[in-house]
Structure 1
Amino acid sequence: MKTQGTAEDSFVLLITGPAGAGKSTLADSWAKSRSTPTVHISLDDVRDWVKSGYANPEDGWNAVAEQQYHMARRCIALAVREYMSAGYACVVDDAIFPDWDAVSLQGWERDLGDIAVRLVVLMPSIETLEKRNSRRTGHRLLSSETIGIIREQMSGWVERDVPLIDNSSMSVEDTVRGLDAVLGLGE
């Protein structure tokens, strides 16, 4: 049985990177690898709660897409607060852009309030992103052009003081170990 609530779990882990970087896969695998109860929440999954009236950002970022994004982020912040108060660690994956206020780290910090935030950026090569994207289906399958634009917009993280992992040639297990290493967690 897993134990609850250790000092290393006193933050919410945000994993970001371009579409196809492996955010959801890493977050899910990392959460399952923990020795304490850990919750993984994907912002895309919460956005997908909207069935009628869903504003797909692929169709263009507009006021409705932004509203749905902000509602999802606030719902996640509330869930994180509840889980953490019960002793669970939390990892969230989202495409957080370094220079776009609407989907920024500052928005997460504002919505999470007094909860400490640790951000880790996955930044694989464009070739890796395109290969991973080709395995997607439905509205999560993006055009090569969109993949390139997102990666370019995310490249601003390289210049920031945040942990970056190039997981282009890493297995999921290697990326989990790399994540633990950048977080300073030894399990």
Structure 2
Amino acid sequence: MAAALYIITGAMAAGKSTIAKELVQRFEKSAHVGGDAFLRMIARGAAAMGPVLDSEARLQLQLRQDIAMDTVRRFIGASFTTVYQDILIGTDFVRVTSALADLAPRIVVLNPSAETLAERDANRPKTGYSEQFLPNVLAEALQLETPREGLWLDTSNMSVEDVIEAILKNW
């Protein structure tokens, strides 16, 4: 069986990391590529990521995506089923999914409500939202700016196992 590529996206606190970590366990030979890891590699000079990105932040975000896509291709080329997890909304979603289209990605968009995002963010060690950057900003951008490609799941009331089952059932 050929290696498959799964792309897991959604807003911050949508459950992307949790789902990706669980999904990779379902395959005999698999790899998890998390976009945040590449951004954390910047030792100095990291641009601030938030609701509005300046030109340097946009360049760094695209660099992160480019490195992630290169890594995805290396794992797929080595026959690893690969789960790439990142915040890909609007033009970023289009850019990445188009660049990886030759790999026939299985796109999964985790789309819980803004209230669920706020609750999940408040209950985790790393918080990303603030009074200046509310969960509805990303939730609305996902809804309004992202093409309806792949499997969209409102995971507000789904367990991790429910989400994994829906993904596996779809493909």
TM-score range, shorter-chain basis? 0.7 to 0.9
1:32 and 2:32 matched: no
1:105 corresponds, among 68, 75, 94, to 94
Is the contact between residue 73 and residue 108 of structure 1 (CA under 8 Å) also seen in structure 2?
no
Is the contact between residue 83 and residue 90 of structure 1 (CA under 8 Å) also seen in structure 2?
yes
1:143 and 2:136 matched: no
1:78 and 2:70 matched: yes
Identity over aligned pairs, percent: 26
Q: 1:158 deviation in Å? A: 8.1
Q: Deviations over 1:143-186 (max 9, x none)?
A: 2642111101111378724311111122112211111122x2xx
Closer, same or farther: CA 42–85 of 1 in aligned 2, 3 Å: same
Describe the SS at the equivalent of 1:58: coil
Q: 1:107 deviation in Å? A: 3.4
Closer, same or farther: CA 178–157 of 1 in aligned 2, 3 Å: farther
Is the contact between residue 51 and residue 137 of structure 2 (CA under 8 Å) also seen in structure 1?
no
Is the contact between residue 107 and residue 149 of structure 2 (CA under 8 Å) also seen in structure 1?
no
CA RMSD, Structure 1 to Structure 2 (Å)? 2.1
- CA distance in 1 between partners of 2:141 and 2:148 (Å): 13
2:121 corresponds, among 133, 136, 156, to 133
Structure 2 gaps of 5+ residues are: none
2:15 corresponds, among 3, 6, 22, to 22
1:94 corresponds, among 63, 86, 92, to 86
Structure 1 gaps of 5+ residues are: 1-5
How many residues align? The count is 170
1:116 and 2:104 matched: yes
Aligned residue identity for 2:8: I
Match of 1:44 in 2: 36
Closer, same or farther: CA 87–161 of 1 in aligned 2, 3 Å: closer
1:177 and 2:169 matched: no
Structure 1-normalised TM-score? 0.81
Describe the SS at the equivalent of 1:33: coil
Aligned residue identity for 1:116: A
Is the contact between residue 109 and residue 117 of structure 1 (CA under 8 Å) also seen in structure 2?
no
Q: Deviations over 1:82-113 (max 9, x none)?
A: 11111101111111113xx2x23233422x36
Describe the SS at the equivalent of 2:88: coil
